[in-house]
Amino acid sequence: MKITVITLFPKMISGFIEESIIKRAQEKGAVEIEIVNLRDFALDDYGSVDDRPYGGGAGMVLRVEPIYEALKKINEGTTLEHPEAFAHSRGYTVLTSPKGRVYNQKVAEEYAQKDHLIIIAGHYEDVDQRVRDYIDEEVSLGDYVMTGGEITAAAVVDSVVRLLPSVLKKEEATKVESFFEVDVRTLLELLPNEESLQRLQQRGTEKVQLLEYPHYTRPEEFLGKKVPEILLSGHAKNIEEWRLKMAYEETVKKRPDLLK
């Protein structure tokens, strides 16, 4: 997979991708990460990439031409004049923006299936509306505004790269974690009297997402609090069932919206 990040602040991204799992993933060849400095496509010797908005108002707006030229270069000179035709010959292009759909694990899984993901880190008040002719979608980390899109871009890179084959030492680490999917029927077998699960089944819901179950490690006892006996039992099936029950309880307490 290849990921390209278009940014005004390359060092914010380069420092992030040169550490830990993201660095190792590149060394393994699981992913190629390219950083493109938008100012390399500036309109003048001063590095201008933005301008005041037509109609007045606060803030500056990223101009369309630098982004247009950056995308042309990234996509090996593909002509952009007709966005509809261009859509079939380029990487999947995302703009970070508070207007976008809120990023979550399902989106990360979608992106991990792409051959080439291009992330434009938004900045200032917004981008020129015509930039949106050349993107596939907009994404946001949440319903708040940040000074720029680099943190969002880094979060997307991290969450996507860890899903790629061979990146994590134990592939099951990405299968049972927060936001993993479980059959409603399986949960009902463990919790037959749980009314919320009964309602989900009646509505025809087949799967739900759960938060991850609680984890414990040494020591077995700390300040009077002990590791649950079942985790010390060595009984794999009982442990698996306990973990599913605990995952369900965690979700009910912390993210009940996932069970609606």
Query: What span, in angstroms and rounded, lies between the C-alpha atoms of 111 and 248?
Result: 27
Enter the pTM of the model: 0.87
Q: Are 207 and 183 in contact (CB under 8 A)?
A: yes
DSSP secondary structure string, 182-221? Answer: EEHHHHHHH-TT-HHHHHHHHTT--EEEEPPPP---S-SE
CA distance 13 to 35: 8
Tokens of 104: 């979550």
Q: Please give the domain boundaries of the chain with CATH numbers for all domains.
A: 2-171 (3.40.1280.10), 176-259 (1.10.1270.20)
At 80 the pLDDT is 57
159 touches 139 (CB < 8 A)? no
**pLDDT for the residue numbered 248:** 97
pLDDT tens digits for 93-119? Answer: 999 999 999 999 999 999 999 999 999
The whole-angstrom separation of Cα 204 and Cα 201 is 5
- The H or E element that residue 5 is part of is strand 2-7
pLDDT for 48 equals 95
Nearest to 65 by CA among 151, 133, 118, 140: 133
Q: DSSP states of 93-158 as a string? A: EEEEEEEEEEP-HHHHHHHTT-SEEEEE--BSSEE-GGGGGG-SEEEESSSS--SBSHHHHHHHHH
**CA–CA distance, 145 with 99 (Å, rounded to integer):** 10
pLDDT digit string (tens) for 155-193?
Answer: 999 999 999 999 997 664 555 567 889 999 999 999 999
Residue spans of the chain under pLDDT 70: 77-89, 170-177
First to last CA, the chain: 34
Q: What is the DSSP letter of 52?
A: P
Spell out the residues 6+ positions from residue 85 whose beta carbon is closer than 8 angstroms to its own. none
State the Cα angle at 36 between 145 and 144, rounded to 5°: 5
